[in-house]
Amino acid sequence: MSSCLFCKIVAGDIPADKIYEDEDVFAFHDIGKQAPHHFLVIPKIHIASLNETNDAALVGKLTLTASKIAKDLGFADEGYRVVMNCNDHGGQTVYHLHLHCLGGRVLSWPPG
Ligand code: 5GP
Ligand code: ZN
């Protein structure tokens, strides 16, 4: 979608600190990191939010890609959190589906 920030990142029209890419997903460091490790995993196709998909394989792949990257970056054993914010009450600000992965410090619970 031409007006979507994350579609522009996938297309290379806006630079991002890319970690991983394959035919389905794209992962890059979050510009406003909330932990020593904070990256996003997104589908290459435009999906506005978790409410807009029934693609179990793709949603599952986002999660497994995050865990693989956490292992590759060396913080998986200590632990991490994966989060998808959905719509206004969930705190979603970019309306292209994305999975946050945060690690490298102890994360508090419950979130605010
Ligand atoms: P949300 O609040 O929608 O769950 O998360 C959106 C995330 O995208 C935020 O953590 C924010 O820091 C990140 N973000 C917003 N714009 C950009 C950008 O241009 N580049 C990168 N790398 N991250 C972005
Ligand atoms: Zn998009």
**Domain ranges, ordered by start, for the chain:** 5-103
Is CATH 3.40.50.1000 the classification given to domain 5-103? no
* pLDDT score recorded for residue 71: 98
Question: Above 90 in pLDDT, residue 112?
Answer: no
**Does the Cβ of 49 fall within 6 Å of ligand 1?**
no
Give, using CA atoms, the residue closest to atom 18 of ligand 1.
31
b/e map 5-36, b = 16+ CB within 10 Å:
ebbbbbeeeeebeebeeeeebbbbebeeeebe
Q: Percent of the chain having pLDDT more than 70?
A: 100
Question: Above 90 in pLDDT, residue 2?
Answer: no
**Does the Cβ of 31 fall within 6 Å of ligand 1?**
yes
pTM for the model: 0.98
**Does the Cβ of 92 fall within 6 Å of ligand 1?**
yes
